[in-house]
């Protein structure tokens, strides 16, 4: 009985202290910032194409540049501020994944390359890789079964 009262008291306290996030403002920021990242990637690809690079290679190069920029911004501490402002807009898959891979590696660098970087590099991205791979296998099996009939 006493635990239920404590839980209810904490729940009331947390509800009182929680601030409501401005939904429209957050959605607009995420849309504009995520769109800007995509626009930057497309612009890079167009520049590479203008320089004579084949289209497939141009898109590959722009992806590599976006990954590099995300890791660079993570390393110098700007990506976190950008993510705080843009919210979900920084989760555009390529930049968000680059940040998820580089953050633990940068944070654990002082522990050495084997026990630090090597052991902790997948702490954030590991579950994404695991469940993404598992989901793709499940979807592939479902697709394969549906094509049998």
Domain locations along the chain: 17-148
Of 17-26, 32-41, 102-111, 121-130, which has the strongest mean pLDDT?
32-41
pLDDT at site 125: 73
Q: Is the pLDDT of residue 109 over 90?
A: no
Higher pLDDT, 11 or 80: 80
The Cα 73–Cα 90 span in angstroms is 12
The whole-number average pLDDT for the span 84-101 is: 84
DSSP 47-79: HHHHTT--HHHHHHHHHHHHHHHHHHHHHTT-H
The whole-number average pLDDT for the span 133-145 is: 93
Mean residue pLDDT of the chain comes to: 85
Longest dimension (CA), the chain: 74
pLDDT at site 7: 60
Write out pLDDT tens, residues 35-47: 999 999 999 999 9
């Amino acid at each position: 009985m006493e635990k239920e009262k404590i839980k209810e008291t904490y729940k009331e306290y947390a509800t009182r202290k929680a601030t409501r996030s401005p939904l429209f403002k957050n959605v607009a920021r995420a849309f504009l910032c995520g769109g800007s990242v995509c626009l930057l990637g497309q612009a890079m690809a167009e520049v590479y194409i203008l320089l004579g690079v084949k289209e497939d290679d141009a898109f590959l190069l722009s992806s590599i540049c976006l990954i590099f920029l995300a890791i660079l911004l993570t390393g110098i501490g700007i990506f976190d501020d950008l993510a705080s402002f843009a919210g979900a807009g920084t989760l555009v898959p390529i930049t968000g994944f680059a940040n998820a891979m580089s953050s633990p590696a940068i944070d654990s660098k002082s522990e050495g390359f084997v026990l630090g970087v090597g052991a902790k590099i997948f702490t954030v991205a590991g579950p994404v890789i695991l469940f993404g791979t598992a989901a793709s296998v499940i979807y592939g099996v479902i697709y394969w079964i549906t094509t049998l009939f």
